[in-house]
Amino acid sequence: MALVEDLVQDRIGYVTLNRPEKRNALGPEMVAGLVRAFEKLLADDAVKVIILRANGDAFCAGADLAYLQEMQHYSYEENLSDSTRLKDLFLQIYLSKKVVIAQVQGAALAGGCGLITVCDFVFAVPEAKFGYTEVKIGFVPAIVMVFLIRKIGEARARQLLLTGDLIPAEAAVTSGLVTRVVARDQLESEVTEFARQLIATASAQSLAMTKRMMAEVQQLPLEEALVFACQQNAHARRTDDCKKGIDGFLRKQGITW
């Protein structure tokens, strides 16, 4: 049985955590499986949007207990290599040229909450719980911190990271961590419909460029950010998607050449 499954259907790619008996806990094999699945779907031109989901009651309960035990015997170099693999996975999702939607049917804790942090949109059931619980076991939410501060700001990130408290789905919406709360029996259909709307109404090139800009402009000084924005604006105007989109819009307004 694969720990991570991938599927393509109607231009939507699905990455599914498939270790329900262990609450989809993360370990080296699970992380490697996620990297492979995303690599495969990101390279598939037929895939326009990716949905990250999970089997079982929990979305992802964080690190596997056996993995935590094993980790106590790692050298610094082994820990650094292991941390780098998780960083690479988070960065792969965060910088993905394709929109990634998390479909959260249960608890997303620690590293599992890290996974949803780097997604573009997060849909969750009302019963879902979220939390960065690392400080409660003497650990540091180091990697996810970089992404969480960007996503929800320092003040809210401090509250979540320093307390390690669990928050319900509605509070996660208020914090900016979750996009929308959806009834359990409607979660799959609503996420799929949202993905289809993106595919139907948004240019894949525009989405990719917008995601890249959001990742890069935050680290640039104001003037450099604006120069970069002008450059991206100029590039975007020359793409086929932009030319077709503007032409279609003008035709709807009754303007023809």
Q: Which residues are catalytic?
A: 134
8 A C-beta contact, residue 17 and residue 2: no
C-alpha–C-alpha distance, residues 235 and 231, integer Å: 6
Tell me the sheet residues that pair with 124: 104, 181
The answer to whether the beta carbons of residues 113 and 120 sit under 8 Å apart is: no
Closest by CA to 142, choosing from 175, 178, 111, is 111
Q: What 3-state DSSP class applies to 107?
A: coil
Contact 10, 196 (CB under 8 A): yes
Q: What is the dihedral of CA 206, 225, 179, 15, to 10 degrees?
A: 60
